[in-house]
């Protein structure tokens, strides 16, 4: 999918070295997620930076360390890259302490992308939970730039509570101007919530998208993905019609440090996007 | 033509090499033989294979990858600038007196760190300026099985020089022109014809003394078979005693996994890479608490499957040189030869 | 020895219906080594061995914190285990700490005459080339293809065995053989006292050299039956950042000293941490030093008196030796 030309070369040809970047905007997305706009300090590099939906970058906050995040801005956006960071451990917590102007490091783009060029003329159903919408966001932006190439686009998006839903204004925008059908859900009933209630996999089975001429793309917490895959297969989706992104503990992002493997595949270079057909060939070690 | 050097001149030879290169040779330290930077007063030993493999010379246990510094802008205290500096090692090195399985380990590193994917610039820089002097093994240890994994105790492709000991004499074969440059004429002589015959004889008997604990078919078939036994209950059976330590991976000439972590000192600091091991539970632990390889049998299975399957699929190499260190040093007596032999019989 | 082995097999045959697994010793990779075995079926009982190489402290497999249910044993499994005197001290200590459940344990005890430290043969013969061993009560003969050597067993014993004060299993459900009587009084902390005679700077140099060799493989910690913190261990956390990433003498010292403190009055002197160290670091001397302190302060030796409360798990308003 990604060819060798897309390798991250790094300053001086050292792929472990990040490029310097600045946080140009920072705002809370949910109570424990912030979104950042990041611009490479080198203007020319920023303008020349291109990535595909689904690709990630390694962000460094020196002293705390480096972590993997999906680039979730529109691929067309050339002024900055957007990331959303959930507070989890050392590095992510340190990012939550930053403010605009902070200097960080960025390595990327890394990893493969969604094979959207195979989606032409098809119905597309996107299924996301919580911050799992992040990798689907650039994909949606991309699909909408050439909206006419695709048939129906549906997004099933759930979170634990209404507060945990990300990118709310995008959702409205896609619904109003993008000809996208959006189904919102939360885990438990909350007063004033006018949409669906229930876990994402349950909603998938309720909505029951027809598998014919359709591809499904899902991303979210591992447990959600697991059950969504089950539901989709029950609905008659073939493994090659289903795509998901996987998470593994990562360090190098280059296929060298060893830790992110599932059998012979490395999530950092062979993923994070996998079709269910590909996953079925791998040892069962989720 | 092979040359030869007598035992009593080895120290002179090493002293000379150490003037031009950073020289690594085995030293006897507290009852173990350790590959160390050569110091004339500390001497050297060729008696046993080094406790740790030679990988640490080209892939040190802790290595600085970059240095960073945050600085407050004096004109604008709100603003903090960042500077970054890559660190690339450049050192002419000789690794002296290592067994062929350790040379094989370095050849293996070439595949994974400078193969078809991303290259590791640190290893590459070190490796490109490194010469290797191998020592043929004549009395393999009970844990050695290099011949079962495509190696030989007495040949050493990838080395620059090969030494074979006959009594008090070392016969030296130059494998590469660079290796030949290490041979200083005045210290070396021409071995007698009969010595060369003894060398041949000794090499043959060393090979014969090695029993193969298992028989591998072609690499792709091995890779395939090992994938087929992924669900075998034997993994769990055979690894109950494992204590999930880092011994088998750290001492292994091919285990290359590493961690990257920052070490700050005030506003500045460095990013280090340090050896890591797929046998540690924390290796795959995600921030959410999820761990895809929580059980030790899963981790052990990953270790052997990586070596005997995944690496073949991805890099067309086997990840084991048969040095036997992981068997010899395992605190729980886990013997990978038996496990591989058992598993291969299951398919 | 061989009578004891036969008796052991009979005993295990009797115990096996009551437990799901029996932990004992089986063959190792050469005649000088054994390895822990986990017996689940009657036909595997014949794999059991008992000889002068059975040094591993099998108690390390018991704390469920170390091996969460499902990953070595299931939560409800009842386990049988063979324990030497020193190993049984670990079990007593684990019981006192409330870590294991005595009701889920069937212990077979025996008298122990000391284990052979094969590394003490190194120098006389290459211990990694041994293909045959002949052993009786007093003498061991070891053969390689090139050489042979014979030695007195008593010389080759582990240091802990030379100083052993509890050669009989302390708590057990079944005991095999005759209890061994100790014939002379032994000072338990000789190794520590010897080190202390060295003087401060010589000692600092000694330890710096040891810590410089440490590769932080964590085997010493992982093999220890009392080190059951696992991912909460100071070595495995970055927040707080107790140990530096760089593996060097300085940060290794930090790790080992803190570990020794954590083992104060808990270490049962099984010596496993030193045995497993691939870099030959006598790392057990640090917890042993703490043990010496606790012995002098509280007359306490971990794991020797069933039912008592460890001094660092209790407190008194007035401590006799602390002011
Ligand atoms: C392909 C991919 C895309 C991701 N995209 C996003 C995103 O867009 N937004 C977001 O908030 N999070 C994302 N994550 C998860 C994010 O990388 C982890 O939450 C983060 O690394 C945790 O780091 P920490 O230092 O805070 O946690 P700690 O628990 O302190 O982890 C220490 C180190 O372990 C590694 N690590 C731990 N957990 C993970 C993990 N789940 N994945 C990868 N490395 C891990 C990191 O190198 C981290 O620095 C993504 C993960 C992957 C694999
Ligand atoms: S050396 Fe042995 S005990 Fe340690 S991790 Fe490897 S197999 Fe397990
Ligand atoms: S796996 Fe074991 S025998 Fe094979 S190379 Fe590594 S340490 Fe040596
Ligand atoms: S066996 Fe484990 S530690 Fe060794 S190279 Fe493979 S994944 Fe890394
Ligand atoms: S310390 Fe005592 S009980 Fe333990 S092995 Fe030695 S002699 Fe046996
Ligand atoms: S076993 Fe030895 S080398 Fe390993 S961490 Fe402990 S002291 Fe260090
Ligand atoms: S993150 Fe290093 S190999 Fe994938």
Q: Specify the 3-state DSSP secondary structure of A61.
A: strand
Mutate to test the interface with B, among A3, A8, A62, A278 (most CBs of B within 10 A): A62
Number of H helices, E strands in chain A: 7, 15
Cβ pair B82:A88 closer than 8 A: no
Q: Specify the 3-state DSSP secondary structure of A12.
A: helix
| Structural domain of B18 | 3-346
Q: Which residue shows structure tokens 């089975």?
A: A205
pLDDT at A81: 97
Query: Across residues A255-269, what is the average pLDDT?
Result: 95
Angle between helices A168-177 and A133-145 (to 10 degrees): 30
Question: Is pLDDT of A75 > 90?
Answer: yes
Calpha distance A42→C121 (Å, rounded): 64
Calpha distance C277→C213 (Å, rounded): 10
B97, B139, B168, B201, B322 from B205: Cα distances, Å: 20, 9, 19, 6, 18
Measured between beta carbons, the chain C residues lying within 8 angstroms of B51 are 278-279
Tell me whether residue B75 is exposed, middle or buried, using C-beta atoms within 10 angstroms of its C-beta: 0 to 12, 13 to 18, 19 or more: exposed
pLDDT at C62: 95
Measured between beta carbons, the chain C residues lying within 8 angstroms of B331 are 56, 219, 223, 272, 275-276
* Closest listed ligand to the CA of B311: 4
With CA atoms as reference, report the closest residue to C214 among C260, C276, C268. C276
DSSP bridge partners of A159: A186
Residues A151 and A123: beta-carbon distance below 8 Å:
yes
**Which residues make Cβ contacts (< 8 Å) with residue C274, sequence separation at least 6?**
C220, C281, C282, C283, C284, C285
Burial call B217-237: b when 16+ CB within 10 Å, e when fewer: eebeebbebbbebbebebbbe
Average pLDDT, chain A: 93
Measured between beta carbons, the chain A residues lying within 8 angstroms of B310 are 261, 263-264
In which region does residue B294 sit, left (phi positive, over 0), alpha (psi from -120 to 50) or beta (all else)?
Answer: alpha
Calpha distance B318→B151 (Å, rounded): 11
pLDDT at B83: 86
With CA atoms as reference, report the closest residue to C268 among C188, C149, C148. C188
- Integer distance in angstroms from the first to the last C-alpha of chain C? 51
Q: How many CB atoms lie within 10 A of CB C60?
A: 27
Average pLDDT, chain C: 91
Tokens of B20: 């031009």
Tokens of C78: 């009842």
The verdict on A13 touching B (C-beta cutoff 8 Å) is yes
User: Considering only CA atoms, which residue is closest to atom 7 of ligand 5?
Assistant: C114
Q: Place A5 in a pLDDT band, splitting at 50, 70 and 90.
A: low
Query: Across residues C187-213, what is the average pLDDT?
Result: 91
CB nearest B241 (choices: C35, C119, C276)? C35
Q: Which domains does chain A have, with CATH numbers?
A: 11-110 (2.40.30.10), 116-245 (3.40.50.80)
pLDDT at A3: 44
Longest CA span, chain B? 81
pLDDT at A1: 45
Rounded percentage of chain C residues whose pLDDT exceeds 70? 99
Question: Is pLDDT of A252 > 70?
Answer: yes
Calpha distance B152→B137 (Å, rounded): 9
Q: C31 vs A285, which has greater pLDDT?
A: C31
Tell how far the Cα of C113 is from the centroid of ligand 2, in angstroms.
28
Tokens of B264: 């700050």
Query: Across residues C278-282, what is the average pLDDT?
Result: 96
ipTM attached to this prediction: 0.94
List of chain B residues with pLDDT < 50: none
Shortest alpha-carbon distance between residue B31 and chain C (Å):
7
pLDDT in tens, C33-78: 999 999 999 999 999 999 999 999 999 999 988 888 878 888 889 9
Give the number of domains in chain B: 1
Residues B16 and B184: beta-carbon distance below 8 Å:
yes
User: Which is it for strands C34-39 and A196-197: parallel, antiparallel or unpaired?
Assistant: unpaired
Cβ pair A257:B288 closer than 8 A: no
Residue of C nearest to B326 (CA): C278
pLDDT at B194: 87
Q: C177 vs C188, which has greater pLDDT?
A: C177
The verdict on B59 touching A (C-beta cutoff 8 Å) is no
The verdict on B259 touching A (C-beta cutoff 8 Å) is yes
CB nearest B310 (choices: A66, A104, A261)? A261
Q: How many CB atoms lie within 10 A of CB A284?
A: 10
A179, B35, B135, C274, C288 from C207: Cα distances, Å: 71, 20, 33, 14, 15
Calpha distance A20→B83 (Å, rounded): 8
In A105-164, the residues whose Cβ lies within 8 Å of chain B are 105
* Closest listed ligand to the CA of B290: 1
pLDDT at C85: 95
**Which residues make Cβ contacts (< 8 Å) with residue C51, sequence separation at least 6?**
C1, C5, C25, C34, C135
Calpha distance A31→C164 (Å, rounded): 60
Calpha distance B225→C204 (Å, rounded): 53
Burial call A55-82: b when 16+ CB within 10 Å, e when fewer: bbbbbbbbbbbbbbbbbbbbbeeeebbb
Angle between helices B219-228 and B336-346 (to 10 degrees): 80
């Amino acid at each position: 999918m990604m060819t060798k030309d897309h390798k991250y070369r790094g300053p001086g040809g050292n792929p472990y070295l990040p490029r310097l970047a600045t946080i140009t905007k920072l705002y809370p997305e949910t109570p424990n997620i912030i979104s950042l706009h990041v611009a490479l300090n080198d203007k020319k590099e920023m303008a020349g930076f291109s990535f595909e939906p689904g690709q990630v970058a390694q962000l460094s906050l020196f002293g705390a360390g480096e972590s993997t995040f999906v680039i979730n801005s529109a691929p067309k956006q050339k002024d900055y890259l957007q990331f959303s960071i959930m507070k989890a451990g050392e590095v992510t917590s340190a990012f939550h302490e930053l403010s605009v102007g902070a200097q960080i490091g960025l390595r990327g783009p890394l990893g493969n992308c969604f094979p959207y060029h195979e989606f032409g003329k098809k119905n597309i159903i996107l299924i996301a939970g919580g911050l799992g919408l992040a990798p689907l966001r650039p994909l949606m932006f991309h699909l909408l730039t050439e909206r006419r190439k695709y048939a129906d686009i549906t997004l099933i998006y759930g979170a634990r509570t209404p507060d945990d839903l990300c990118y709310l204004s995008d959702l409205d925008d896609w619904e109003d101007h993008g000809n996208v059908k959006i189904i919102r859900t939360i885990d438990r009933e909350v007063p004033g919530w006018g949409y669906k209630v229930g876990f994402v996999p349950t909603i998938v089975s309720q909505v029951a998208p027809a598998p014919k001429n359709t591809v499904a793309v899902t991303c979210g917490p591992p447990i959600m993905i697991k059950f969504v895959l089950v539901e989709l297969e029950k609905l008659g989706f073939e493994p090659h019609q289903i795509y998901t992104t996987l998470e593994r503990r990562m360090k190098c992002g280059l296929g060298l440090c060893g830790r992110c493997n599932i059998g012979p595949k490395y999530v950092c270079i062979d993923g994070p996007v996998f079709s269910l057909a590909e996953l079925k060939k791998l040892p069962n070690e989720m | 033509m092979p040359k030869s050097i007598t035992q009593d001149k080895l120290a002179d030879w090493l002293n000379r090499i150490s003037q031009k290169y950073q020289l690594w040779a085995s030293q006897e330290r507290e009852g173990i033989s350790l590959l160390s930077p050569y110091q004339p007063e500390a001497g050297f030993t060729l008696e046993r294979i080094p406790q740790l493999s030679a990988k640490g010379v080209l892939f040190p246990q802790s290595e600085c990858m970059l240095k960073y510094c945050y600085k407050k802008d004096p004109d604008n205290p709100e603003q903090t600038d960042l500077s970054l500096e890559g660190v690339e090692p450049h050192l002419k090195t000789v690794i002296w007196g290592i067994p062929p399985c350790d040379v094989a380990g370095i050849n293996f590193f070439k595949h994974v760190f400078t193969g078809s994917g991303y290259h590791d610039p640190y290893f590459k820089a070190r490796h490109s300026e490194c010469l290797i002097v191998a020592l043929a093994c004549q009395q393999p240890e009970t844990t050695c099985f290099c011949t079962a994994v495509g190696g030989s105790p007495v040949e050493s492709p990838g080395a620059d020089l090969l030494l074979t000991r006959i009594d008090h004499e070392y016969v030296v074969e130059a494998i590469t022109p660079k290796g030949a440059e290490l041979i200083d004429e005045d210290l070396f002589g021409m071995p007698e014809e009969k010595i060369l015959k003894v060398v041949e004889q000794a090499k043959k008997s060393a090979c014969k003394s090695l029993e193969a604990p298992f028989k591998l078919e072609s690499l792709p078939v091995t890779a395939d078979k090992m994938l087929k036994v992924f669900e075998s209950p034997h993994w769990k059976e055979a690894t109950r005693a494992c204590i999930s330590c880092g011994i088998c991976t750290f001492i292994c000439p091919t285990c290359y996994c590493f961690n990257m972590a920052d070490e700050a000192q005030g506003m500045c600091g460095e990013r280090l890479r340090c050896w890591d091991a797929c046998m540690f539970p924390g290796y795959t632990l995600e921030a959410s608490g999820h761990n895809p390889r929580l059980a030790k049998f899963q981790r052990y299975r990953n270790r052997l499957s990586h070596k005997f399957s995944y690496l073949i699929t991805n890099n067309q190499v086997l990840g084991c040189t048969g040095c036997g260190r992981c068997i010899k040093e395992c605190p729980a007596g886990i013997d990978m030869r038996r496990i591989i032999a058992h598993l291969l019989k299951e398919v | 020895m061989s009578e004891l082995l036969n008796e052991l097999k009979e005993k295990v045959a009797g115990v096996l219906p009551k437990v799901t697994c029996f932990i004992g010793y089986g063959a190792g990779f050469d005649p000088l080594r054994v390895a822990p075995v986990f017996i689940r079926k009657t036909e595997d009982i014949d794999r059991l061995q008992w000889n002068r190489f059975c040094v591993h402290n099998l108690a390390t497999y018991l704390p469920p914190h170390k091996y969460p249910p499902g990953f070595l044993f299931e939560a409800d499994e009842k386990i049988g285990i063979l324990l030497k005197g020193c190993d049984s001290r670990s079990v007593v200590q684990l019981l006192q700490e409330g870590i294991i459940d005595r009701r889920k344990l069937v212990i077979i005890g025996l008298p122990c005459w000391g284990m052979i430290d094969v590394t003490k043969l190194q120098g006389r013969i290459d211990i990694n080339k041994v293909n045959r061993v002949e052993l009786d009560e007093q003498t061991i003969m070891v053969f390689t293809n090139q050489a042979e050597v014979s030695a007195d067993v008593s010389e080759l014993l582990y240091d802990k065995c030379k100083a052993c004060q509890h050669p009989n299993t302390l708590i057990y459900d079944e005991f095999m053989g005759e209890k061994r009587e100790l014939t002379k009084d032994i000072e338990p902390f000789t190794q520590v006292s010897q080190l202390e005679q060295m003087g401060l700077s010589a000692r600092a140099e000694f330890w710096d050299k040891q810590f410089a060799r440490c590769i932080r493989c964590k085997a010493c910690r992982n093999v220890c039956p009392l080190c059951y913190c696992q991912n909460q261990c100071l070595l495995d956390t970055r927040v707080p950042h107790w140990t530096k990433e760089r593996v060097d003498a300085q940060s290794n010292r930090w790790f080992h000293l803190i570990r020794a403190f954590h083992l104060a009055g808990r270490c049962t002197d099984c010596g496993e941490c030193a045995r497993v160290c691939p870099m030959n670091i006598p790392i057990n001397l640090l917890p042993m030093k703490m043990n010496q302190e606790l012995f002098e302060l509280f007359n306490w030796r971990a794991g020797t008196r069933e039912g008592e409360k460890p001094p660092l798990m209790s407190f008194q308003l007035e401590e006799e030796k602390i002011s």
